[in-house]
Amino acid sequence: MYQGPLYIASDHAGYHLKKRLVRYIENELERDIEDMGPITHNPEDDFPDYVIPAAKKAVVKAGRAIMICGSGIGACITANKVNGMYAALGYNIDVAESSIKHNNANGLCLAGRSLSEDHAMAIVKRWLETDKDEFLGGKYERRNEKIKELEK
């Protein structure tokens, strides 16, 4: 199980799923997680306002971030604008695992409007169970290096 720094953020559409995931991670997985907001449900909360700080903190602290919006797509696009963030759209359990094994992802983006709480918890559990040392390297490392060239 991943034991490093862990952050979570959402917008208004992912707020309720975020709160459920915080409880799940803290109480059932017995992990610390920092909630980067929002603190209350407000329809005017936009994902960039919370995803960007969560992604930046995960990069700086060499941690991981879970970011949630309505579809997960906006959060994913935004997170990947942060230099050093490699966020994946976690739409199922296998994809969450391969995001680390193939892409060395440090961010997981979820769809607050289309994932059930149970499915989201299963996705997060697998993602946290998959450790960085499971990154397969080889052709995946070669591909990741090509992506990193864009950051220079």
Q: Which of 69, 76, 109, 119 is catalytic?
A: 69
Residue 44 inside a domain? The answer is yes
Task: Give the pLDDT of residue 73.
Answer: 97
Helices 15-23 and 117-129 cross at an angle (nearest 10°) of 50
Output the pLDDT for position 31: 95
CATH number, residue 114 = 3.40.1400.10
Q: Is 69 a known active-site residue?
A: yes
114 domain-assigned: yes
Does residue 66 belong to any structural domain of this protein? yes
pLDDT at residue 68, as a whole number: 98
Active site (annotated) includes residue 16: no
pTM of the model: 0.93
* Token representation of residue 113: 């409007």
Q: What pLDDT digit, counting tens, does each position of 64-111 carry?
A: 999 999 999 999 999 999 999 999 999 999 999 999 999 999 999 999
Is 20:82 a contact under the CB 8 Å cutoff? no
Q: Which CA distances in Å does 50 have to 29, 68, 71, 104, 134?
A: 24, 10, 15, 23, 29
Inside any domain, residue 29:
yes
Would residue 141 count as lying in a domain? yes
Total domains present in the chain: 1
Question: Which is catalytic among the residues 12, 76, 102, 109?
Answer: 102
Separation of alpha carbons 102 and 145, rounded Å:
12
Residue 83's domain comprises 6-151
Assess whether pLDDT exceeds 80 at residue 136: no
What span, in angstroms and rounded, lies between the C-alpha atoms of 150 and 36?
Answer: 28
Nearest residue to 73 via CA among 118, 14, 127: 14
Q: Please say whether the dihedral angle defined by the alpha carbons of residues 113, 115, 118 and 120, taken in this order, is positive or negative.
A: negative
In a domain, 1, yes or no: no
